[in-house]
Structure 1
Amino acid sequence: MPEFILLSVFLISLTALKVMYKEYKFALSGRIALAAMFITTGIAHFVFVKGMSLMLPDFIPYKFTLVYFTGVIELIAAVGILVPKYRKTTGWLLILFLVLIIPSNIYATIKHVNLEDATFDGAGPDYLWYRIPLQIFFIGWVYFSCIKPVPNRK
Structure 2
Amino acid sequence: MEAKNISRIALGAFLITAGIGHLTFARKEFQAQVPEWVPLDKDDTVVYSGIAEIALGTAVIVTPKKYRKTMGKIVAGFFAAVLPGNIAQYKNRRDSFGLNTDNQRFARLFMQAPLIAWALKSTDE
2:107 maps to: 130
Q: State whether structure 2 residue 121 is matched by structure 1 residue 144.
A: yes
Which AA in structure 2 matches 1:81? V
**What is the TM-score with the length of structure 1 in the denominator?**
0.69
Q: Which TM-score applies when normalising by structure 2?
A: 0.83
Greater RCO, 1 or 2 (C-alpha within 8 Å, sep 6+): 2
Cα distance change of structure 1 residues 126 and 39 upon mapping to structure 2, 3 Å threshold = same
1:54 aligns with 2:24: no
Q: Which residue of 1 aligns with 2:52?
A: 73
Aligned pair partner of 1:90 in 62, 66, 71: 71
* Superposed CA RMSD: 2.0
Structure 2 matches for 1:37-48, cutoff 5 A?
Answer: 37-47=14-24, 48=26
Query: Take 2:107 and 2:10, find their aligned partners in 1: how far apart are those partners?
Result: 20
Shift of 1:122: 4.0
SS across alignment from 2:111? helix
Which residue identity lines up with residue 72 of structure 2 in the other structure? Answer: G
SS in 1 for 2:110: helix
List 4+ stretches of structure 1 deviating above 4 A. none
Percent sequence identity is: 26
